[in-house]
Amino acid sequence: MQKKQNVLFLCTGNSCRSQMAEGLLRHLAGERFEALSAGLEPNNDVHPFAIKVMEEIGIDISAQQPKAVDVYLGRMMIHYLIIVCNKAQSTCPRVWPGLPNERRYYWPVNDPASITGTIEEQLSGFREIRDELQEKITSWLKDVSVSTSING
């Protein structure tokens, strides 16, 4: 059995985007990848709307907790780094040295926590981000499968 490769989703607060991405990858390809997430300045809790919109598609992220990037830095091999916010992108070159560029991805995804309006409008925004992340992860999985089969 092949060992799982570690994929780290990185954003600022590790309470919305990266948490949803972690849950999605675990659901879509948990047998191939160890999904992880972290933040540069982690919040105290996963946003309740992130938990809710993930539950709507049958993925439970309620036990996940925001973590600082230091939890992983220098402690485990990261095979792929996927940055899902602008602040993490500008800071990341100093945060994760040594990871080859072809294994770093930047997905500029809007922060659903910044959405204002009614609860339903906010939930709708979280759903849009969830669906965008799901599309990106599905596409990335196809690309990684192709490059893995080409490179052996």
Considering only residues 93 and 115, tell me which one the structure prediction assigns the higher pLDDT.
115
pLDDT category at 88 given cuts 50, 70, 90 is low
pLDDT of amino acid 25:
98
Give per-residue burial for 123-148: e unless 16+ CB within 10 Å, then b. bebbbebbebbbebbeebeeebeeee
DSSP symbol at 121: H
Average pLDDT rounded to a whole number, residues 38-43:
93
State the DSSP string of 60-95: --TT----BGGGTTTTS--SEEEE-SHHHHHHHHHH
User: CB 79: neighbour CB atoms within 10 A?
Assistant: 17
92-112 pLDDT tens trace: 655 566 788 788 899 989 999
Annotated catalytic residue: which of 7, 8, 11, 25?
A: 11
pLDDT of amino acid 87:
67
Considering only residues 147 and 8, tell me which one the structure prediction assigns the higher pLDDT.
8
Residue pair 19/66 in contact (Cβ under 8 Å)? The answer is: yes
Considering only residues 14 and 87, tell me which one the structure prediction assigns the higher pLDDT.
14
Active-site annotation holds for 92: yes
Considering only residues 49 and 72, tell me which one the structure prediction assigns the higher pLDDT.
49
Token pair for residue 41? Answer: 């300045």
For residue 35, is pLDDT > 60? yes
State the DSSP string of 4-56: PEEEEEEESSSSSHHHHHHHHHHHHHTTTEEEEEEESS--SS--HHHHHHHHT
Residue found by looking up tokens 């047998």 in the block: 31
118-134 pLDDT tens trace: 999 999 999 999 999 99
For residue 148, is pLDDT > 80? no
DSSP symbol at 96: S
Active-site annotation holds for 11: yes
For residue 152, is pLDDT > 60? no
pLDDT of amino acid 16:
97
| Domain regions of the chain by residue span | 5-146
Annotated catalytic residue: which of 7, 69, 85, 137?
A: 85
- For the domain covering 5-146, report its CATH number: 3.40.50.2300
Annotated catalytic residue: which of 35, 92, 113, 137?
A: 92
CA distance 111 to 126: 9
